[in-house]
Structures are given as structure tokens and as C-alpha cells.
Chain A
């Protein structure tokens, strides 16, 4: 159990375009999902916490108008990178928090496979 999928796995786009990344919990409901960004050889950086039915909570320094997050259902959160630029090229990873009712260790985060974004 506790499988998280992410789509697409690879995106190459032109500068100025918008890119949407989907994160789905496949076999459980996730009231909270997280979006991370990871640059090469660096640790995970939390971008925002996505709560179902409410606005996302963004970390300091992350532009909420540039990284739009929508958590419309208990199994789906989306991250849209608007007007992408080359400096947005990175590895974007989502995770979903498993509650006690799902049988996992409380508050464990399970990660999607990640989306590699390259902006030309």
C-alpha cells in the first residue's frame, strides 16, 4: 500500500510556457500532500504543503503565484509552474502523508517517483 504516482516523469518545455504536474495517491486518501524541489546533489527543499479543500501553505521564498498548487480531491494534487524559465529546471517530487488509519507509521510521507523538468 501507500503508493504515490506522479505524472509526467519528464517534461521539456520552452521558456515562458506553463507546466502542470500531477500527484496522485493510488490506494489511500491523502488530506495532506507536499511538493519538494531538488537540485542536483542537493537535499530536498520543501516548496509547499497542499491541503485538500484549502489553500496551500508555501515555504518562505517560494512564489505562490508562480507555483500554483491545487488539491481538489483526497487523491490528487497538482503543481503548475507558470511562465517557466531555465532556472526552474529541477527535479520536482511530491509526497503524501499516510495517517494512522492507513496502517502505516503515523505521519510517514511516501514519495512519488518525481518529475524532471527541463526548461529551454
Chain B
């Protein structure tokens, strides 16, 4: 079967750095996406990785290792507004998105 695993919840301190991991097993691979979802709102696109390596975009970076079926989202200089759920999603060989359950990130002052 296909599955995406990510931690259910993480807690970090304002100003710190946090890494949210995602491992996947899918039938084929056409890219991995990270989305941010604030409570009560729809997801917003953060990043897309299809090749191995690190993609940096401001305070957020995303890493991919296809051989390990592994990705992480790195958030630096955490702000209170970063408190949200972070969803990892993989596009399989049929171009269908397989969604993880999301990681709820709690930022403490």
C-alpha cells in the first residue's frame, strides 16, 4: 500500500529552528509537496521537491532523498504565526497526491 508518515505533533520555541520529517512509500514518485494549514483554513503551498537535495525559500527549506523515501521541512527563526499543521504529500506514478496526516506545530514564546 501507499503511506506517508509524519509526526502527529511537535513543539518548538519562538526564534528557534524545527525540522519536520516525512517518510513515504508510494507506487512511483513525481514529486513531494509541503503545505501549511492554519486551523480552520485551507492548505497553502510551501514547497515542491522532485530532485534530491535542499530547496531554500526564505525561512523555510525542504529536503528530499528519493533513495531513502525521506523529506524534511526546516523552519528557521520561528514566529508565533508559524503555529499550524504542516502536510506532506507525494505525487505517485498516476499523478495522484497521497497525503500525510499532517504535523501540528505548536510554537511557544
Q: Which residues of B contact A6 (CB under 8 A)?
A: 42
In whole angstroms, how far apart are the Cα atoms of A34 and B89 in the complex? 14
Q: A43-B102, A109-B97 are in contact. Are A114 and B48 (CB under 8 A)?
A: no
Is B33 located at the chain interface by the 8 A CB criterion?
A: yes
Apart from the given pairs A34-B97, A114-B42, 17 other A-B contacts in the complex at a CB distance below 8 Å? A43-B101, A43-B102, A44-B99, A46-B97, A93-B42, A93-B43, A105-B31, A106-B31, A107-B30, A107-B31, A107-B91, A108-B33, A109-B33, A109-B97, A111-B45, A113-B42, A116-B40
On whether the beta carbons of B30 and A111 are closer than 8 Å, the reply is: no
Q: A93-B42, A113-B41, A113-B42 are in contact. Are A107 and B95 (CB under 8 A)?
A: yes
In whole angstroms, how far apart are the Cα atoms of A108 and B87 in the complex? 14
Q: Which residues of A contact B43 (CB under 8 A)?
A: 44, 93, 111
Q: Which residues of B contact A44 (CB under 8 A)?
A: 43, 87, 99
Interface positions of A (Cβ within 8 A of B): 6, 34, 42-44, 46, 91, 93, 105-114, 116
Q: Which residue of B lies closest to A98 (CB)?
A: B45
On whether the beta carbons of A43 and B100 are closer than 8 Å, the reply is: yes
Q: Which residues of A contact B45 (CB under 8 A)?
A: 108-111
Q: Which residue of A lies closest to B35 (CB)?
A: A111
Nearest CB in chain B: distance from A62 CB, A: 14
Q: Which residues of B contact A43 (CB under 8 A)?
A: 87, 99-102
Nearest CB in chain B: distance from A47 CB, A: 13
Q: Which residues of B contact A106 (CB under 8 A)?
A: 31
Q: Which residues of A contact B27 (CB under 8 A)?
A: none
